[in-house]
């Protein structure tokens, strides 16, 4: 159910499958969600500027059903930005947008998480 979407001007060749999978681990740990539901989508090679320059930057969206909030988002922000720093993107060139979705707004496996969560409780 958590989805991390990253648009960046970093070249595709610098982003490994290992980096992507590591972000899945970070996502699962920081949100305390099963890794089997975590999705990471990295869009490299984007034409992007930040602060009037084309230096490395990223625009990130983190969508989750719950586990987002004033204090939680500080923890998520730090964890995600620490990983993106490994690509050479400084934290002051990253925006993260947090989206707290309702279970009925997220479809999966021919239904929604509203139904999945209702049958698991």
Tell me the catalytic residues. 2
Residue 29 has φ and ψ, to the nearest 5°, of -70, -45
**Cβ pair 8, 42 in contact under 8 A:** yes
H helices of 1-121, where? Answer: 17-31, 70-85, 113-119
The Cα 73–Cα 31 span in angstroms is: 10
């Amino acid at each position: 159910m958590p989805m991390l979407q990253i648009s960046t001007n970093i070249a595709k060749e610098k982003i490994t499958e290992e980096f992507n999978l590591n972000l899945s681990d970070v996502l699962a740990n920081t949100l305390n969600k099963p890794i089997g539901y975590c999705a990471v989508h990295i869009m490299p090679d984007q034409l992007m500027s930040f602060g009037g320059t084309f230096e490395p930057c990223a625009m990130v969206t983190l969508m989750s059903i719950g586990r987002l909030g004033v204090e939680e988002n500080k923890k998520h922000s730090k964890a995600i930005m620490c990983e993106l720093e490994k690509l050479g993107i400084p934290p002051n060139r990253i925006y993260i947008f947090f989206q707290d979705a309702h279970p009925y707004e997220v479809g999966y496996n021919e239904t929604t998480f509203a139904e999945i969560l209702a049958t698991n409780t």
